[in-house]
Structures are given as structure tokens and as C-alpha cells.
């Protein structure tokens, strides 16, 4: 165990106002002293919101919020039980499921003071980015902390909105925002290390245009689906800051198109390509219902980035071209906005269950027709503040 963690929590149960002599007596009698290992195992299991409140108990507890070792312990435990969040502009909703009864609660409104449409990045270490064409904010939905991103390169009205991904370098331990956009000079990419005050251009650029869907992060890489007809995915190495191309699964290249949708997610720590489409194995008459199928392809890093179809899901529900799909642990959650219907598919039991929506659906009606669903672990990882600014002239020289 890290010495810093031991020092921070060895005396968590000791009143800080007592003398060292009183503290040593308590340790010797062993009546109120809790071993550091036991205290760590307790604290890492707490929900993020509870842990934030407990951080105000004493200085030693408060210091844990900056201890990298402890943050990882808590994060690893939280990943197993992530929250489902709905983002509608700057408002965050929490989705809960109690005995197949859906509960949607408004958590908070991020005070970003923006009126135009906003977008979100993927989640990474419990953080995500809320952004628009020229502005951006880093947000921790658990601690409700928000920090500005530096102003980025403007994007003209005639071009699609930029796509921002959030990744983590396992070597430098830095969080980085990666922005892909199209302007008058074509496709461009720039990177901002959170805590720095400037976006840095990636000179090699972007090989392909990316689709308008959320990127995903896993194992040091950010992934985007490339626009139609290329049948590939872009991978951005967060440490090396380089793009590589990952081909689609062979079984998928011929079936994309028509009535189908692709999205990226993370399944048990690995990148997952979600293919939602009509079944090509069963033929229906004009008046027959259309049965959909979901394929979950998981990326294998040990064998040169190859795909494996781990799940073929046949949910007991009609096909819809407008659907939101999110993976949370061993559950696949599907939402059909036009009918306000939610389905949950259990990957372990192989069962589809229609969730009962709240009797009062005023919350759902207040949200955009196709809300953004994200799976986000509760994390107390601090949102980096801008501590230093880099001269743009210096960047151009480098």
C-alpha cells in the first residue's frame, strides 16, 4: 500500500484535536483505532456523493481527494456500478431502476450560461465535457464541479459541430481533451491537456471525417466511428497523440447501411461496437412487425486490434430508427423516445424487460425527443483548473 495513503488514513478515527499521547493510547488499547487497510476498503466502497460529504470531516480525509492511489481504488470500484445519466443541454438527470420501475430525477443544472445547443463528450474517470462550437466546460457530475476549457478554433456555420473526446494518458497521468472539427481548411484536430490554457494543433491532421456519435475511451485510446462508406474506426493514442485506423469486423462490413445504427461504448473495460439493425435472417410481410437485433463487438487488444462478437441480442421489442442505447455493467438499456418506452436487457440472464415509466412523465416530456444517455461512474476525481498558459508562438515554433 502507498505510504501516502497510510499516512493519510492511519489516524482517521482519531480526533485531530487530541494530543499525540492520547492518540497513541487509543492505538494501544485498540478500541477506537481502525487499521489503514480496513479504512481504505470501507471508503473505496462509498458512493461518490457520500464520499464528497465525508471529505469535510477532517484534514486527513480531505487530503484523500488528491491521492492518486486512493482515487484509482475508488474509481475501480465505481466502474462496476456506473450511473445512467441523461444530458439535456446543461441539465443532468439520473436514471434509476427499482424493481423494473423507472425513476428519473433531476440532479442539477450546470451553470454554464449558454443558450445555444450544447453537446457532450464521452466519460473518462468520472469526468466529461459539455461544449459548443467555441466554448467548453469540464464537468464532474458527482461532485458538480465545473471548470472552463480554453477557447477553441472557431467553426463556421456551414460545417458540422465539432466532436470532442476525453481521454487519459496512463503514462503521463494527464487528462486530455481531443477536438476534431472541419473548417475552411478541411479536417483538423487539436488537443488540450486539462490544466493547460491552450489547444495544441495536431500537425498530421485527421485521416477521415468522423460520424456524429459519441466517441469512447478505453486502455489509453480514444475511438471515433468514421463516416459512412469507409467501414473503419479512428483510434487516437492519448499519450503519443497519433491517429491509427481500426477496421470494422469482417462480418459487419457488408451489413452496415439501410436500417441500421452504429455506436461506441465500453463493455467491461474494452471498446464495444454496437450494431443495431433489422434482422436479415427473417422475412416479414408488409403488415408484420420488424424484429431488431443488436450485435456487440468487443475489441481485443492482445491480437492486433481484432474484433469478437460477444453478444447477439434479440430484444423483444419493435425496431425504431430513433433509439438510444447505453451499456451499464451487464445491462443494455434501450430508449424509444417517441413512445417514451424503456427496455433493459440483462447480458447474464439473456432477458429483455420493459421498464415501467413514471406515472408523471413531465420530466421525459421536458427533455429533447432523443436525449443523450451516458454511463458514468461516480468519481471524486478533481476537475483540473487552468494553472498555466502556453504561448501560441511557442507552440508554432515547436
Give the model confidence (pLDDT) of 124-183 as tens digits: 999 999 887 777 889 998 888 889 888 887 776 655 678 999 999 989 999 999 999 887
| C-alpha torsion sign, points 51, 52, 58, 59 | positive
Q: How do residues 82-127 score in pLDDT, each as one tens digit? A: 888 887 767 788 888 766 777 888 887 776 655 555 788 999 999 9
Per-residue pLDDT, 28: 45
Q: How do residues 20-56 score in pLDDT, each as one tens digit? A: 444 444 444 444 567 777 777 788 887 777 787 777 7
Per-residue pLDDT, 91: 79
Confidence of residue 201 (pLDDT cuts 50, 70, 90): very high
Lowest mean pLDDT among 178-187, 190-199, 333-342, 379-388: 333-342
How far is Cα 325 from Cα 333, in angstroms, rounded to an integer? 6
Per-residue pLDDT, 367: 61
Cell of 3: 505510504
pTM: 0.82
Q: How do residues 63-94 score in pLDDT, each as one tens digit? A: 777 777 888 888 888 787 788 888 776 778 88
How far is Cα 333 from Cα 377, in angstroms, rounded to an integer? 16
Per-residue pLDDT, 87: 79
Cell of 158: 456551414
Give the start-to-end residue ranges of the domains of the chain: 3-76, 80-376
Per-residue pLDDT, 354: 86
Compute, in degrees rounded to 10, the torsion defined by CA atoms 212, 227, 170, 164. -30
How far is Cα 146 from Cα 378, in angstroms, rounded to an integer? 15
For the chain, how many residues are written? 398
Given 3-state DSSP classes, what are the helix, strand and coil percentages for the chain, each rounded to the nearest 5? 15, 40, 45
Per-residue pLDDT, 23: 45
What's the mean pLDDT in 203-221?
90
List the beta bridge partners of residue 243.
236
Q: How do residues 229-262 score in pLDDT, each as one tens digit? A: 778 999 999 999 999 999 998 887 665 555 778 9
How far is Cα 166 from Cα 193, in angstroms, rounded to an integer? 10
Asked if 379 contacts 74 with a C-beta cutoff of 8 angstroms, the reply is yes
Query: 272 pLDDT exceeds 70?
Result: yes
| C-alpha torsion sign, points 392, 168, 194, 173 | negative
- Percent residues over pLDDT 90 in the chain: 23
105 vs 371, which has greater pLDDT?
105
Matching residue, cell 461506441: 264
Matching residue, cell 434501450: 334
- Percent residues over pLDDT 70 in the chain: 75
How far is Cα 111 from Cα 368, in angstroms, rounded to an integer? 19
Within 10 Å of residue 171's Cβ, how many Cβ atoms? Answer: 9
Mean pLDDT for the chain?
A: 77
Q: Name the CATH code of domain 80-376 (choices 2.60.40.1730, 3.60.21.10, 2.120.10.80, 2.60.120.380).
A: 2.120.10.80
Query: 6 pLDDT exceeds 80?
Result: no
Per-residue pLDDT, 25: 41
Query: 304 pLDDT exceeds 60?
Result: yes
How far is Cα 97 from Cα 335, in angstroms, rounded to an integer? 13
Max mean pLDDT range (68-72, 206-210, 235-239, 384-388): 235-239
With H, G, I as helix, E, B as strand and everything else as coil, classify residue 31. Answer: coil
Amino acid at each position: 500500500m502507498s505510504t501516502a495513503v497510510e499516512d493519510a488514513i492511519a489516524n482517521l478515527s482519531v480526533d485531530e484535536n487530541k494530543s499525540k499521547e492520547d492518540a497513541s493510547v487509543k492505538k494501544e488499547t485498540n478500541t477506537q483505532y481502525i487499521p489503514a487497510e480496513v479504512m481504505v476498503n470501507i471508503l473505496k466502497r462509498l458512493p461518490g456523493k457520500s464520499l464528497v460529504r465525508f471529505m469535510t470531516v477532517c484534514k486527513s480525509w480531505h487530503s484523500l481527494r488528491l491521492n492518486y492511489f486512493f482515487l484509482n481504488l475508488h474509481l475501480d470500484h465505481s466502474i462496476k456500478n456506473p450511473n445512467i445519466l441523461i444530458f439535456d443541454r446543461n441539465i443532468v438527470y439520473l436514471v434509476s431502476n427499482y424493481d423494473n420501475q423507472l425513476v428519473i430525477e433531476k440532479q442539477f443544472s450546470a451553470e454554464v450560461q449558454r443558450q445555444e445547443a450544447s453537446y457532450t463528450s464521452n466519460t473518462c474517470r468520472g469526468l466529461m465535457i459539455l461544449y459548443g462550437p467555441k466554448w467548453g466546460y469540464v464537468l464532474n457530475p458527482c461532485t458538480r464541479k465545473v471548470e472552463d476549457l480554453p477557447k477553441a478554433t472557431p467553426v463556421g456555420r456551414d460545417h458540422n459541430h465539432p466532436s470532442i473526446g476525453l481521454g487519459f494518458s496512463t503514462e503521463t497521468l494527464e487528462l486530455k481533451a481531443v477536438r476534431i472539427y472541419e473548417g475552411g481548411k478541411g479536417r483538423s484536430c487539436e488537443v488540450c491537456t486539462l490544466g493547460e490554457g491552450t489547444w495544441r494543433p495536431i500537425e498530421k491532421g485527421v485521416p477521415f471525417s468522423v460520424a456524429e456519435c459519441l466517441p469512447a475511451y478505453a486502455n489509453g485510446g480514444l475511438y471515433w466511428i468514421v463516416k459512412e462508406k469507409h467501414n473503419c474506426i479512428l483510434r487516437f493514442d492519448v499519450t503519443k497523440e497519433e491517429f491509427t485506423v481500426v477496421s470494422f469486423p469482417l462480418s459487419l462490413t457488408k451489413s452496415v447501411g439501410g436500417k441500421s445504427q452504429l455506436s461506441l461504448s465500453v463493455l467491461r473495460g474494452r471498446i464495444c461496437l454496437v450494431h443495431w439493425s433489422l434482422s436479415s435472417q427473417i422475412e416479414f410481410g408488409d403488415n408484420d412487425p420488424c424484429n431488431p437485433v443488436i450485435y456487440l463487438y468487443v475489441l481485443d487488444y492482445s491480437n492486433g486490434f481484432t474484433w469478437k462478437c460477444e453478444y447477439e441480442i434479440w430484444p423483444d421489442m419493435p425496431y425504431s430508427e430513433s433509439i438510444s442505447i447505453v451499456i451499464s455493467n451487464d445491462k443494455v438499456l434501450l430508449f424509444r423516445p417517441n413512445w417514451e418506452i424503456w427496455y433493459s436487457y440483462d447480458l447474464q440472464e439473456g432477458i429483455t424487460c420493459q421498464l415501467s415509466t413514471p406515472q408523471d412523465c413531465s420530466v421525459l416530456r421536458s427533455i429533447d425527443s432523443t436525449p443523450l444517455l451516458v454511463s458514468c461512474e461516480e468519481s471524486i476525481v478533481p476537475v483540473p483548473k487552468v494553472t498555466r498558459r502556453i504561448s501560441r508562438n511557442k507552440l508554432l515554433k515547436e
